Structure 1
Amino acid sequence: MKHRRLFQRLLLMALLAGVLVGCSVPDSTPLAQWRHAQDGAFAADISPSGQYAVVSGVNGEITVWHLKDNKPLYQWRHQGEGANRVFIIHISADEKFVVTSDREAFALWNMESGEPVGFWRIDESSIRDVAVSAGGKGILVGRANGKAMFFEPSTGRRLEFLGHQEKINSVDLSPNGEYALTGSNDYVAYLWSTKTGQIVHTFPHPSRVTLVALDDEGRYVFTADSQQKSQIWNAQTAAPVSNLQYIARQKIFTDAVFSKDGEYLLTGAPSRRIYRWNVKTGESAGGWRVAPVENTRPATAVVYAVGFTADGQILSESSSGLAELWSVNNE
């Protein structure tokens, strides 16, 4: 779903994370590996079923991949033939629509036809993160000025959420588009109604909130800050379920998705690392390291997207431009 930052910034974060957490996750051997962006990638997302991936390449092309066959389905250009720096991609829960974004504009695409639905420019403040609901009915945009906008392409309806005091870092939408989750530098994540703009739950943190994720089944919320609080909450009551257990002073996450059965949370990091966590306890249930970007010293890569296959294996897309398939029995 998840996620979604600029390659240069994450590369710096990756180096920092490597210093902080050391080599707690050994080098891993994937079950399979495919080249999805020849010169590396700026962004990626994996669909909830693990059937599709959408990758923004350094060369400016956005490619939709069918993962089972490893075949490209479509190639898109975000802003025509000009420079394309798409750094956010989100696939809807029903896998029928995709939203792509650079800092100043976002686009909606139809996954079934491969055709663009619309293109919208934001003039007031730069875009930090975007998400799209099932059916492409709603798009959520988080901005650097602390405002979140919920937009319905078919009707033109716009609702601005003004609850945050500082820039928004991460957003997510429920599949039906009725609830938005936003995390900000003001140390708070909010779950709020896209119909009324009213806050449903407040999730406080001791430092800036860097990543948020909603469980598509409506059971859990995940929020992580820039220090040590990475919390799973009950989406209905806002009660804490578990806090991810790690000894490092800091962990930065770039993507997070819940398994369909609700037993595991899967996270990606800017330090090549993928982690699987037990939702009920917050304890680690395995870790893997993706292939590094070629010719980087020290060897590193940003994990942009993680996902589960139908049989419970793990998929990843990273800044190396590689998609990789991992066995949960061989972490």
Structure 2
Amino acid sequence: MNKASFWTFCCVFVLFSTGCSIPETTPTSKLPISEVGVYDADISNSGQFAVISRVNADIVVWSLSENKALFSWRHQEEGRNIVDNIHISADSDFVVSADSENFALWNVNSGDPLGFWRIDESTIRDIAVSNSGQGILIGKANGKVLYFEPSTGRSIEFLGHEEKVNTVDISPNGKYALSGSNDYKAYLWSTESGQIIHVFNHANRVTKVAIDDQARFLFTSDSQDDSQIWDAQTGEAISQLHFIERQWVFTSAKFSEDGRYLLTGSPAKRLALWDVQSGDTVKEWRVAATSGPAPQSAVVYGIGFLPTENSVVSISSSGNLESWNVEK
């Protein structure tokens, strides 16, 4: 099961097991960017652009300020696209994209590809890239995590997980990796030595991890109700996200630059802003659903903070780019 299919399954399960308690919300703006949907998306930390993998189309670099396409990229031939993993570096200069077997590195400023590579062993589950495109992190279905440096060819495999790796993230300097797996564990580890720095145990499979770009916090979340924010230096718990549902799965997570908030997206139309220190919900929104037959839902893939406005932005599998007012 690829990433898109996995989150569609999660979305259907959550809808029928918990229902949707979020009231209808109206975005400050809404822009359809793909009529047939989106496989994955990411939004730059600068808030200036998004990278979106569009179903049966291309990977598009989209200007959020000008609302237009800047570049169009492809892994496959015209009219075919199966890229379901997108990640933008913290410095907003490089992008890594991947389907189940291939990954590519791109320069955002020029729009040029910097290399294409193939994974012969297992399949790609998640991917991340550090600043300057220096290091690429690849989580695989066989439980291994590969760290690879395109410029030097250096690579190291992390073998700490015992089951399928679902989610990875990398620090901006490329020195630290965070990975989560079906073995109920998340590890923070060194990409220089492979040495484990912190272990985070969960009661269920870990489905989402995120590293704060300022090296203050880590986020790990499992497939049920345990979602934690940790001190990145000590590994001690700072807060647990508070929600009454018996299950809240996350597809995306990003810390605000000032360290006050965590923004998350889910597979069931949910976008939420959390207080880092308390774990309380600050505000929630419901993104626009897909059109067509039930269930009417949308997987929230891309999330970000807009730089000059009191707003956040989301991109979902429905093919919509929406912005939301953060004011209470």
Q: Same fold by TM (over 0.5)?
A: yes
What are the equivalent positions in structure 2 for 1:44-193 lying under 5 Å apart? Answer: 44-81=41-78, 83-193=80-190
How far is 1:329 from its partner?
1.9
User: 2:47 is aligned with what amino acid?
Assistant: G
- Quickly say closer, same or farther: Cα 1:90–1:19, change in 2 above 3 A: same
Aligned-partner Cα distance in 2 for 1:114–1:190: 33
Q: Secondary structure at the match of 1:128?
A: strand
Aligned-partner Cα distance in 2 for 1:248–1:33: 28
- Equivalent position to 2:314, from 308, 316, 320: 316
Whether the aligned pair in 2 keeps the contact of 1:173 and 1:180 (CA below 8 Å) is yes
Alignment deviations for residues 78-133 of structure 1 (CA, whole Å, 9 cap, x no partner): 13447320000000001110000000010000001001000000011100000000
Whether the aligned pair in 2 keeps the contact of 1:37 and 1:55 (CA below 8 Å) is no
Aligned-partner Cα distance in 2 for 1:20–1:94: 39
Matched, 1:32 2:29: yes
How far is 1:48 from its partner?
1.1
Aligned-partner Cα distance in 2 for 1:21–1:279: 25
Matched, 1:329 2:314: no
How far is 1:185 from its partner?
0.6
Gaps of 5+ in 1: none
Matched, 1:228 2:225: yes
Matched, 1:250 2:247: yes
Aligned-partner Cα distance in 2 for 1:168–1:200: 18
C-alpha RMSD of matched pairs (Å): 1.2
Over the matched positions of the two proteins, sequence identity in percent amounts to 55
Range with bigger deviation, 153-162 or 290-299: 290-299
User: 1:248 is aligned with what amino acid?
Assistant: E
Range with bigger deviation, 88-97 or 321-330: 321-330
- Equivalent position to 2:268, from 261, 268, 271: 271
Q: Secondary structure at the match of 2:15?
A: helix
Range with bigger deviation, 271-280 or 310-319: 310-319
Aligned-partner Cα distance in 2 for 1:106–1:207: 29
How far is 1:24 from its partner?
2.1
Q: What TM-score does the superposition give when structure 2 sets the normalisation length?
A: 0.97
Whether the aligned pair in 1 keeps the contact of 2:57 and 2:80 (CA below 8 Å) is yes
Aligned-partner Cα distance in 2 for 1:138–1:276: 29
- Equivalent position to 2:39, from 39, 42, 45: 42
How far is 1:69 from its partner?
1.0
Alignment deviations for residues 15-41 of structure 1 (CA, whole Å, 9 cap, x no partner): 221234433211110001112222211
Poorly superposed stretches of 4+, deviation over 3 Å: 80-83
How far is 1:271 from its partner?
0.3
- Equivalent position to 1:298, from 295, 303, 307: 295
User: 2:198 is aligned with what amino acid?
Assistant: H
Aligned-partner Cα distance in 2 for 1:141–1:79: 20
Q: Secondary structure at the match of 2:291?
A: coil
Aligned-partner Cα distance in 2 for 1:182–1:57: 26
The number of residue pairs the alignment matches comes to 326
Aligned-partner Cα distance in 1 for 2:103–2:20: 37
Alignment deviations for residues 137-186 of structure 1 (CA, whole Å, 9 cap, x no partner): 00000000111010000000011111111110000000010100000111
Aligned-partner Cα distance in 2 for 1:56–1:82: 13
Whether the aligned pair in 1 keeps the contact of 2:56 and 2:79 (CA below 8 Å) is no
Whether the aligned pair in 1 keeps the contact of 2:58 and 2:80 (CA below 8 Å) is no
Aligned-partner Cα distance in 2 for 1:277–1:68: 26
Aligned to 1:216: 213
Range with bigger deviation, 157-166 or 35-44: 35-44
User: 1:25 is aligned with what amino acid?
Assistant: I
Alignment deviations for residues 215-258 of structure 1 (CA, whole Å, 9 cap, x no partner): 00100000001111100000000000000001111111000000
- Quickly say closer, same or farther: Cα 1:82–1:70, change in 2 above 3 A: closer
Whether the aligned pair in 2 keeps the contact of 1:20 and 1:248 (CA below 8 Å) is no
Aligned to 1:261: 258
Whether the aligned pair in 2 keeps the contact of 1:254 and 1:267 (CA below 8 Å) is yes
User: 1:233 is aligned with what amino acid?
Assistant: W
Aligned-partner Cα distance in 1 for 2:227–2:289: 25
